């Protein structure tokens, strides 16, 4: 167990096993998931890039592996993938900074 980590890359392939303990919810989730990633108003490549950005925002190593592969498979290149990560970074950074307004409001409330 010396090499044990909280994240094991091999576990990604076992994602489908979650249905074993709750068949109905798990199956409905995967059916929904498959529907979401189908070509629609957005192309499959655009959806893969959104997923890649979200994967970085939620810092999910499984999702980063999965959607790096998927973005490549859907025809994205390095420039598009890195821009998607910057979108995630901008929103994460922006979401911290925009709370600065709340900080300013509160500080103004408390100060002379």
Residues near other proteins, by CB under 8 A = 39, 43-45, 69-70, 72-75, 77-79
- Cβ distance to other proteins smaller for residue 46 or 91: 46
Q: Are 40 and 32 in contact (CB under 8 A)?
A: no
The residue (of 13 and 112) whose beta carbon lies closer to other proteins is: 13
CA dihedral (27, 31, 36, 40) in degrees, to 10, reads: 180
Alpha-carbon gap, residue 36 to 65, rounded angstroms: 19
Q: How far is the CB of 16 from other proteins (least distance, A)?
A: 11
* 79 or 112: CB nearest other proteins: 79
Q: Smallest distance, Å, CB 5 to other proteins? A: 19
- Report the alpha-carbon distance of residue 109 to residue 112 in Å, rounded: 8
Shortest Cβ 101–other proteins spacing (Å): 39
CB 84 within 8 A of CB 49: yes
């Amino acid at each position: 167990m010396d090499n044990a980590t909280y994240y094991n890359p091999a576990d990604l392939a076992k994602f489908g096993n979650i249905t074993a303990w709750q068949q109905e919810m798990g199956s409905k989730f995967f059916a929904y998931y498959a529907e979401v990633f189908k070509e629609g108003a957005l192309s499959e490549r655009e959806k893969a890039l959104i997923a890649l950005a979200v994967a970085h925002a939620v810092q999910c190593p499984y999702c980063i592996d999965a959607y790096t592969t998927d973005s490549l498979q859907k025809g994205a290149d390095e420039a598009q993938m890195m821009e998607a990560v910057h979108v995630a970074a901008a929103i994460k950074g922006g979401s911290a900074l925009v709370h600065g307004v709340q900080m300013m409001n509160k500080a103004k409330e408390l100060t002379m």
